[in-house]
Structure formats: C-alpha cells, structure tokens
Amino acid sequence: QKEVEQDPGPLSVPEGAIVSLNCTYSNSAFQYFMWYRQYSRKGPELLMYTYSSGNKEDGRFTAQVDKSSKYISLFIRDSQPSDSATYLCAMAPLGGYNKLIFGAGTRLAVHP
C-alpha cells in the first residue's frame, strides 16, 4: 500500500465550478502537508502548505487537513482555465525535510 494515495483523474469541470482535490495517507507521523501545482512541461511549484490539522485559505484556494481521518483536501473556488494543471499533494513528518512523500497527482482540466 502506498503511503499517499491520490486519485489520478482526469477531472474535467466547467469554468466557475468549485473543485475538490483529495489525498489520503497512512503514516500518522505526517505533520506538514503541501499542495504543488504542475503545468504541462514544467516543474511542480508550491501552491500551499499547512501544518497539522485545520484550514488555510489563500485567495481562491483552501487547503484542509483532517488528521483523524488521514485525509487532506484542496478546494478551488471559481475555477479558471488557467487552473488546468496536475495537482500533487505532498507530506512529511516533523523535521522530515528530506522525507517528502508525494501523491501521484490529479490532472485537472477547466474548460471555458
């Protein structure tokens, strides 16, 4: 069983929709949770990160962590065609700066 599971999609939504992207994990030691966005033919770039449980909001993006369920989510409000990309979740234990574990990524397409 993989430590981090992520539905690969693809997920196709109309412009303006609310998008929910999710990851589940098995290692209860994970404390730092990140979302990376990867455009086609580019390297991943950090979108958001949260420590432990709770929500974090940044513009149209909200990251949510539920440690009791070992489940993290990224919500995108008012989705735009420019949001079309692959979204990777990543997580690490406390102090595990070199032990980042990535999900396989979910491909999102937002059509006008």
- For residues 40 and 112, which CB has a smaller minimum distance to other proteins in the complex? 40
Torsion of CA 90, 96, 99, 100, to 10 degrees: 10
Q: Does 42 bind other proteins (CB under 8 A)?
A: yes
Would you state the structure tokens that stand for residue 64, as one six-digit string? 């949510």
Q: Does 37 bind other proteins (CB under 8 A)?
A: no
**Is the separation of the CB atoms in 73 and 87 below 8 Å?**
no
Q: Does 85 bind other proteins (CB under 8 A)?
A: no
Where do contacts with other proteins occur on this chain (CB under 8 A)? 4, 6, 8, 32, 34, 41-46, 49, 88, 90, 92, 97-98, 100, 102-105
